[in-house]
Structure 1
Amino acid sequence: MPKIVIFVFVGIILLSGGSVALMMQMEIGPFANEEKKATVDSTPKDEKPEKKIAIETVTMAPLSIPIIQNGKIVLNLRLEVQIDTTKKKAPKLREKLPILKDAYVRDLFSFIPRQLRKSKKLDQETLRRRLRVVGQRTIGKGIIHAVNIKSYSEVKSVNDAEKEETTDPTTN
């Protein structure tokens, strides 16, 4: 009899812990974002919320990522990135641009060689998604709406500096 009570008690604790973890991950109940709560409370059930959001584009300084293989720089990658955000959050994004640029360089320094091992050409859509995820992880969710690659260029090696390949992301 006491073993059954212990198992029931442990089961209840596990279920309640699992439900709390689920609510935290889904951001529902007491763990919901303040923005979600405010939009739910402010919009009547009869009306649809307006989806007119003023988007502002913030341009970052170009990122230069050296790709090192076998102790040598085999490729210099230069990215010009534009970040879409709301007009309200644009000043906060501009304030955190140095932190964001550092996070991008650190992540791409390890991410790009792994991608180039899989295929010889870098997929720009994958790169856009990766930059968005890293940005949201670094400065918080809800600030970055989209990341656009304005220009992307590769220089094969230091000796082949004149053989620069520039690709336009709109043609892919």
Structure 2
Amino acid sequence: MKKILILLILMFLLGGGGGGYYYFFVLATDTSNEPPPPPPEPDFRFVEMQPLRIPVIRGGAVVNYVVLNVTLETIGPENEEFATSLLPRVRNAFITDLNGYFAAVSVEDRILVKAIKRRLHIIANRTLGPGVVHDVLIQNAFKQRK
């Protein structure tokens, strides 16, 4: 009984090794030696917006302003034209969202540019549709006293 069990285990091991060899070396060989062509470089287009001046309200009064210089990065002339045509709507959505954001977040120490950039990218995708805006670039962010 032990001899039969040992023979069965050896047969399974040899079968598994042969199957692995066949799968990884015989089936996986690439017949063409040419590397695939590199993908074409995307045609990045930039849509500059007027600076966003967001009031920071505490206790019902404006204590200071946050000024952001924002540029939308799109791919292709179609997306650039589409984003440019809806720029007032995008600007309004940005200002509306950032008013609520700065009402809840303290800006006394510093402005969290990464968090704002992520928020603006989500808002741009909601406003213009997914795939139109590739990235949102914040070129300048600073606080301005009242």
The TM-score, its normalising length taken from structure 2, stands at: 0.69
Higher relative CO (Cα under 8 Å, sequence separation at least 6) belongs to 2
Q: Secondary structure at the match of 1:68?
A: strand
In 1, distance between residues paired with 2:54 and 2:83?
A: 22
Q: List gaps (5 residues or longer) in structure 1.
A: 1-45, 159-172
Structure 2 letter corresponding to 1:109: N
Percent of pairs with identical residues: 25
Q: Secondary structure at the match of 1:79?
A: strand
CA contact (8 A) 1:115 1:122 kept: no
Tell me the residue number matched to 1:116.
106
Deviation at 1:49?
7.5
- Aligned match for 2:89, one of 78, 82, 99: 99
CA contact (8 A) 1:54 1:87 kept: yes
For each residue in 1:29-50, what CA deviation from the matched residue of structure 2 results, as whole angstroms up to 9, or x when unmatched? xxxxxxxxxxxxxxxxx96782
Deviation at 1:115?
2.4
Distance 1:52 1:155, change over 3 A: same
In 1, distance between residues paired with 2:46 and 2:105?
A: 28
- Aligned match for 1:148, one of 114, 137, 140: 137
Q: List gaps (5 residues or longer) in structure 2.
A: 1-34
- Aligned match for 1:55, one of 44, 63, 74: 44
CA contact (8 A) 2:56 2:65 kept: yes
Structure 2 letter corresponding to 1:111: Y
In 2, distance between residues paired with 1:155 and 1:50?
A: 44
Q: Secondary structure at the match of 1:92?
A: helix
Structure 2 letter corresponding to 1:108: L
Q: Considering only CA atoms, is the larger Rg found in Structure 1 or Structure 2?
A: 2
RMSD: 1.9
Structure 1 letter corresponding to 2:52: L
Q: How does 1:8-23 map to 2 (within 5 A)?
A: none
Structure 1 letter corresponding to 2:140: S
Deviation at 1:87?
2.2
Q: Secondary structure at the match of 1:116?
A: coil
| Aligned residue pairs, count | 111
Q: Secondary structure at the match of 2:121?
A: helix
